[in-house]
Structure 1
Amino acid sequence: MSEFSVSYHIRLGEGIDAQKLLRQAKAAGIVFGPANGWLTFVPYAGLAAYRSAGEARFADYLATLIGLPVLYYCHAEDCGWSFALAGNERPLVQFACWWDPQPAVELDQFDPFALAPFVATEALEPLLRPFDAEEAMLVRPADRFGELLGLPAYQWLSPDLAQDRTQDLLDRAGRKLGAKPASAAVRFQLPPNRRITFPDPAPTAREALKLIAPFMAQFKPPWSLTMVTTWGFEVPEGRGVWKVWWRYGDSGDTVTAVLANDGRVLFSADSVPSYATDRMAKAIHLPEKWLDSPHVTAIMAELPIPDGFDGGRIGSMALKSLNDCLHWEIVVAGNRGQVGSSSFWTVYVDAVSGEVLAEVHTRKVGFQETVRQRVRKGDWTDVDTSSQSTA
């Protein structure tokens, strides 16, 4: 499993008890240290202030709260790493390095001398540059950064782990600070998991939604249906295991229900920080007549497979809305010719008229990615992906 870590590191001042200040501000989580002039703090994912501020901006919030510099640290092993330094007397200083989809760095809000009071600038310079994925695995710039600054803890830490696997962090010399907020499942009072008679044959999207909806009756507006998706890629004839999503207004709060193939109905809840809500699915309003999954599977069967695509026609299916257009999104994975290669054929179908709105064929070999698209069964055209780089 790849590492994903998020933590906050308070630079201690002489005669100042940072842990006491956090407690007084009701900033609940797990702390490590102090060591080497730092106190590591991992907020619980359910902490309202963390969910409202977002990851890097939560460092700004803490710095204002306690009057000390706060360092935000993030290591997403598959994608890249980043940090941000917050202090009362300067704007937020941020650095990010990504190696997926291609090597890039973000330096617009970076001051190379901001960390000079904590570590020698020349020691950091080799880490603050682009890396590709292979080199990053060898150099491990995020880990080296934590070592150079002497952070008490920074590996395999995150608000989600603090919330859901508290004891694991305590076993690594962490200490509880404040009261842990209720999990999303408790806050939203999810119905208990249960078992029903699973239809034979397996249900379509419409049938699954009809079976699940009665159990979710308590989630009234501003809760709204946002998405119906398959649970996996095996959906012969548009029938299989389905997952249904609801969202509370425009917030990051979601609840889901899965109708498993043994008849279990499994409920879960999640709450993401405010910075991530722009990428979340919007509310969908189902008209009386909308195309069920078998109809969409039949439409896929009639489409010609794109030249150069080495896969089939069956893939994951999702009913969602974009710019008020209710549509099906079908993602078909191609065969992997070699390690590091991938190929996907994505089809967008109007969920009312059945019109094929667009198709996208993405192929990646190593760090080279090519994208082609066609709109409403027109000609295939190449898409320039170079403008998407953050370098």
Structure 2
Amino acid sequence: MNPDLERLHPYPFEKLKTLFTGLPASDKSPIALSIGEPKHPSPDFVQQVLRDNSALLARYPTTAGIPELSQAIADWLKQRFHLNSVDPAGQVLPVNGTREALFAFTQAVIDRQRQPLVLMPNPFYQIYEGATLLAGGEPVYLPCTDATGLQPDFDAVSEDTWIRTQLLFICTPGNPTGATLSLSQLKALIQLADKYDFVIASDECYSEIYRDKPPAGLLQACAALGRDDYRRCVVFHSLSKRSNLPGLRSGFVAGDREILAGFLRYRTYHGCAMPIHHQLASIAAWQDEAHVAHNRALYREKFDAVLDILGGPLKVSAPSAGFYLWPKTPISDEAFAKRLQAEQNVTVLPGRYLSRTVNGKNPGSNRVRMALVAPLEECIEGATRIKALLDTL
């Protein structure tokens, strides 16, 4: 077996299962605020496309996908991020969701013979770390704290670290923080990538769930710098959160033409082509914004209701984007999650399960992640139960 498999950390939900082992059964109905799986209805018109084209299951799809999907994605990117041009044939690659793509991309771009460093936010989506370890890289965790605006302080990274960096993961909006990087911050990162010759992988799968202002994107920063080649820059987008289609497993990678050419070659051997009827359904989803606006309104309503209940007793505020709350806890995050499960049958994820301890500090300690994905009434009930626990602490 690959010895690097032994370097993988248990997944957060494995740790959560262990934490809850032995807890007595509750007489209250379960409310899960731990997993970021969208629960809003999938668009009817997307489901109809799937039904109408089920006969295409008889055909093998190609890894590059059908040209119509790449064109729809290119059109969406240009409209959403104010880009001058996107070549659908060379700067867009459909993928089976961002999770698979983030992992595979890391394997394709890392040169393990050069003692590579891979920088990532801390807390983080655990795929960044696992992909790095299995590619032979060394993760470097950049703390995201209140003092840094819940995004990494890139000015604190040493030059020696930048010199060895091959890949920088950014997540904007962040999971679990909801914090976004500004256009000026993204421009500065592109200049660092030019100076030290590393690739930026921007995970933007929460970009369409925002409260007020659409978050900036990495390709948008490239365009603002006059760089339509998107050199050293790639972005990852998905229909899972934007369109409530996590089971469709549909997203895309876009950016640097040379990098995507190599990634396409890797994926051809990987065997991960998207089914054709999924591609047609994806075209329909990328070409419609009305359902996305409705989706945002549903999340906004839930945030407002939940924060009205928890805003006083808990240190929590609305994020700029995404569907998570990242509150501070009055006791340790593990103890809080365990008591909440035992006493109220509400599941949240301890923040330390999404972070790593560096220099004796874990930025996820004394925080929990709450995913407001359940229906409004269930989120309100969950918030009410959380408040009931807080009243006893």
Q: What is the TM-score when the length of structure 1 is the normalising length?
A: 0.27
Larger Rg: 1
Higher RCO (C-alpha under 8 Å, 6+ residues apart) = 2
Name the one with the larger strand percent.
Answer: 1
